[in-house]
Structure 1
Amino acid sequence: MQPRENTLNRRIRSAGGKFLRRFGMLPGGMPDGLGDDESLRGTTLSGDVILYFPDTADSLYQLRGWYGPLRELHRAQGLTIICMDSRVAATIRGEIDVPVVTVAQDATLDALISSSGTKLILYVNYNPLNMAPLRARSALHVSLLHGDSDKGVSVSNQVKAYDYSFVAGQAAIDRFARYTSLFDAASRCIAVGRPALDTDRAQVSSSSQRGDQPVVLYAPTWEGGQASVAYSSLRTHADPMLRSLLAAGYRVIYRPHPLTGVRVPEFGEADRAVRDLLEGGWHTISDNRPLQLDFVESDLLICDVSAVANDWLATGKPAIVTRSAGPEAQDAATRMLEVLPRLDASDAETAAELVAEQLEVDPHREERRLLTEYYLGDTTPGASLERFLAACRDLSAQRDALWSRIEGSDGMGHLPRVD
């Protein structure tokens, strides 16, 4: 194969690409690739752990949910966040006090992982760009994801790409075991609870002035990337349901998903309509508030099938889960969806009656307690964070033992030759 010539056309294309990246003119969803590669050459990262985040700003919510535990992990073992987008890296630096670098070239990434003696590489999603660090065999690769839910997308064959998956509880392990073929969930999944519930709980204090009426948190999910995961109730339930709640005198906290309307503009319009309906008065639009603050201020949750429902279990308060009106949406057959009351679109205009029953009678209190243990494990304050940190320590030690054996195979860190 003949080497490619450094032609004028190639130089022009290269210069054009650099121009587009430098001035932020790339298509949405594409990292700008403006890396710190030059300054990183020949350097090493401090600490044992890398969090790899190749995404653009639209997906930052997935990382922000881990800020609290990542701060604690940085204190314990040292952590560096590696991005592919310089704009995202700048945003993260302003939000969390851990080292953040941007790496554009695979060669730079490979050298950093190898020379730094990185033990663990963590990932908060299944982005295909994760394949770049996944090549490294000198570290263990751990999928964290960004919440545990009964959505169909929570079970993906992509989990097999990672050495381990940190999950919330036994429910997630059972879900993987049931729906993922040729995957040993019992040995590859490690239950750590939801450590962010511990760290974020410690940072939240509510100063809101409450009236006499209970507060309902409405937290719909987004429209989803495909019809089978179109769980959002915004277009089918929201308007009649909220009018029912307002007529009954309830205060509403509305917490939309960050991606609402990104794929289907009609959901953005529905979001705007909800904001207009709740504007003024004592209602709250929760765009940038901590999730735990919304939990503290609310007496009951109405949500779609999503990670919010699972995290809410730790509060011990009643919850209602909407039933998707989408003809192709697929609910997993799970204990939570069997126990918690469901709200159909056809019943949305009488939602206040169901809310009143759950608040006054709370018929599912004991069943929710059992659900909490099954989905989240021990929710004693601090227990989940300690499980997370202990799991990282244990896997770091396991990596050292495994890599020591490999290095000892020929004295050079290479795998034994197979003839």
Structure 2
Amino acid sequence: MPVPSSRRWFTAWFHRRQTAVRLLVLAFLATAFTAQAVGALLPHVPLLLAATAASLAAEGVLYRWQRGMLPLFAKSHADLTVRHVLRDLLLVIGLLRLGEQHRETVYAPLVAGLLVCYALHCATQAVSVLVRRSRTLPVVTRNIDASELRLSPAPPVLLRRPGHRLLAFGLPATGGLLVTVAADAPVAGAAGLALSLAASLAGLAALLLRLLPGRRPAGEREVLDWFDAWLAEYRPTVGLYFSGGASSAYQANMWLEPIARLGGRPVVVLRERFMVQKLAPTDLPIVCLPKVSTLMRLEHSTLQVLIHPSNSGKTSQVLRIPTIKHAFVNHGESDKLSSCNPYAKAYDQVWVAGPAARERYALAEVGVEDKDVVEIGRPQLDAVRPYAGPPAGRYTTVLYAPTWEGWDGNPGNTSVIAAGENLVRALLADPGVQLLYKPHPLTGSVDPRAGAADARIRELIRAANRERPGTRPQGAAQLARRTAELERVTAVAGRAGADPVERMLAQSAPEPGRAAAVARAAAAWDEAYWAALPPGEHQIITDARPALYSCFNRADLLISDVSSVISDFLASGKPYAVANTSGLSEEAFRVAFPTVAAATVLAPDAAGVPALLEAVRHPEQDAFAAARAELALRLLGPAEPPAQERFAAAVRALRATARGHRERMAGRLTADLPGQRRETRPVTPPPGGPVG
């Protein structure tokens, strides 16, 4: 079904409107500077004053409503600092031009004072860089007591941002010069300059104090010695290794709880500093090791196993450590090629959910040997509730959770572009459906068509809600209370302007029982969220909460694409459907993607949606119930022993392999081998004991 021209027109109009607003702001700012230049050169005092005021007002609009334009100015070398200097320069030109008619000798000291302000700004920026470098530690931690490193609060945000600092400290000088130009009052200019100079000197002094030996954090060597001592004292046994972009944190978050339930001495190893705050609340100790040289210090620790939920460019760096065994667990399993990446053969073992993934690797022939594949189930799926029968209420809740478009341009990756709007229209046409739309966070990041289709789908849902008036239940107040409680227990310690060093100080150790409190608050929030929805109101879910598994528990039916979402949903035993936008026939589609074996296959025109809804409401018409149970066993493995137990057993076995390897290597190092030099550095003996 083609997209209506009205929808295409709306999307194009929306983008044109955004572009028009940005061009308007740019034109206004350029006009203000041009008028200021004309007013300074004539000189024309009213024009100079009006243009300067308009320029300052445009700055406020830019930072309040059009922050997306800031990178454009920065790339054009016209950032806030340059604009502020130009604004003051034009005022000085106007002042000197007036001086030709009045008292140039009186105005010259004001110009000199302004130059001193800029010199102080440059000095302050240089010291700010030194302070930032002194606070850039080689190791960043969370949930670890690092008080020995002389950690301290970060300097005020204003002192760390040169453009904002110049604008704030220079505003009195600019205002004083404006009054001087308008009223021929040099005293006003001198007063403004004095305030700016005082503020600049105070900021410079505050930063210089932080460079004193007793005020700066520990140096690199001291931090590394402390980290080695912490490793020796904590004696980690198993770790979660993760590297990625800001939007990929969910891949690590889904493994935090299974790792924590292992017991023993687990640790999380990150590579990007920003990721320390992206991880979900956890009691696990977290270490971020940005440099390869620091990462290599793990080689002589007691760490035996690292678990990898994703591949990244930095994964190869940690795989070089021979004393650690590495297991790839992925962040989800599907029939897509990315689930059988040839990179997987670089790991010691590949841990999968069930037999289907083992077969997938064998068929893919990417170099992963069958002996290195271990079936552990999916420990995260303990939170998914099993099927409890057909919809009991007035509404059938349908979760539409398409995946993103991927990197390879395959039209079968996502249904959003070719089928999304048709599916949503067909679902909204049924008055007994409540739709939950949860698109993948990366939707539209590669193909603009996916982003545009997503925007149109959201507008369809909003329009349907406007036509379906609902009364908000009494649970709204309860939801507000639960939200406040959840925000309280999950709040990141430290103020908003904190840097990594200050956060290390504020997050030195979790409160006892914090993880359990977060779990209780999250469960209570979920219950309050669903209770507070108006009956039948459709939802667009893009925030972290409610989580995907919470949506699983709410839904009676899932519609998705070939992705790990359908594999996980099988744990519920509920009906599901897969959109076929691959161009293959239904028969070929089922053969190509085994996870579709127990699904209703929907064509891009969504013609099969009414019959699908009938099968959900009347289980006797559900032809795939037995197939879903069989497929769940193949994809996720048996229900007994539980997945968490199988996961822990796999960790114990790989730890034993790592210990055996270390013992053999230690024996070889102590043996007299002709023609070889003996290594004198001792290898720290790993601790024994079970995990889990």
Structure-1-length-normalised TM-score: 0.82
After TM superposition, the structure 1 = structure 2 runs for residues 20-419 of structure 1, keeping only pairs within 5 Å, are 35-36=138-139, 38=220, 39-41=223-225, 42-45=228-231, 46=234, 47-73=236-262, 76-92=263-279, 95-111=281-297, 113-185=298-370, 187-198=371-382, 200-201=383-384, 211-228=393-410, 230-249=412-431, 250-279=433-462, 280=465, 282-287=537-542, 288=544, 289-325=546-582, 333-346=592-605, 348-360=606-618, 361-379=621-639, 383-411=642-670
Shift of 1:34: 6.8
Q: Aligned partners of 2:601 and 2:646: how far apart in 1?
A: 32
Residue 415 of structure 2 aligns to a residue in which SS? Answer: coil
Name the Cα RMSD after superposition.
Answer: 2.9
Does structure 2 conserve the Cα–Cα contact (< 8 Å) formed by 1:340 and 1:364? yes
Change over 3 Å in CA distance of 1:54–1:109 after alignment to 2: same
Shift of 1:230: 4.7
Partner amino acid, structure 1, of 2:613: V
Compare CA radii of gyration and give the structure with the larger one.
Answer: 2
Partner amino acid, structure 1, of 2:541: S
> Deviation per CA, 1:270-316, whole angstroms, max 9, x where unpaired?
22222222234611222222222111101111000000110111111
Q: Aligned partners of 2:570 and 2:645: how far apart in 1?
A: 19
Shift of 1:201: 4.3
Does structure 2 conserve the Cα–Cα contact (< 8 Å) formed by 1:241 and 1:350? no
Partner amino acid, structure 2, of 1:189: V
Residue 569 of structure 2 aligns to a residue in which SS? Answer: helix
Shift of 1:213: 1.9
Shift of 1:117: 1.4
Residue 131 of structure 1 aligns to a residue in which SS? Answer: helix
Residue 248 of structure 1 aligns to a residue in which SS? Answer: coil
Shift of 1:375: 0.7
> Deviation per CA, 1:163-206, whole angstroms, max 9, x where unpaired?
00110100000000111244312x111101110112x449x9xx
Change over 3 Å in CA distance of 1:100–1:326 after alignment to 2: farther
Shift of 1:336: 2.7
Q: Aligned partners of 1:299 and 1:387: how far apart in 2?
A: 29
Q: Aligned partners of 2:357 and 2:577: how far apart in 1?
A: 21
Residue 193 of structure 1 aligns to a residue in which SS? Answer: coil
Shift of 1:352: 2.5
Q: Which consecutive segments of 4 or more residues in structure 1 shift more than 6 A?
A: none
Q: Aligned partners of 2:419 and 2:324: how far apart in 1?
A: 46
Change over 3 Å in CA distance of 1:341–1:210 after alignment to 2: closer
Shift of 1:59: 1.1
More helix by share: 2
Q: Aligned partners of 1:178 and 1:139: how far apart in 2?
A: 29
Partner amino acid, structure 1, of 2:250: Y
Q: Aligned partners of 2:137 and 2:429: how far apart in 1?
A: 53
Deviates more, 1:240-249 or 1:209-218: 209-218
Alignment gaps of 5+ in structure 1: 1-14, 24-32
Shift of 1:68: 2.0
Change over 3 Å in CA distance of 1:352–1:34 after alignment to 2: farther
Change over 3 Å in CA distance of 1:417–1:374 after alignment to 2: farther
> Deviation per CA, 1:338-372, whole angstroms, max 9, x where unpaired?
342211113x1552333323542110111111111
Shift of 1:98: 1.1
Q: Aligned partners of 2:560 and 2:418: how far apart in 1?
A: 13
Shift of 1:417: 5.0
Alignment gaps of 5+ in structure 2: 1-124, 141-219, 469-536, 678-692
Shift of 1:253: 1.0
Residue 299 of structure 2 aligns to a residue in which SS? Answer: helix
Q: How many residues of Structure 1 are paired with residues of Structure 2 in the alignment?
A: 375
> Deviation per CA, 1:369-401, whole angstroms, max 9, x where unpaired?
111111111235x70111111111121112111
Deviates more, 1:263-272 or 1:387-396: 263-272
Shift of 1:252: 0.8
Does structure 2 conserve the Cα–Cα contact (< 8 Å) formed by 1:35 and 1:85? no
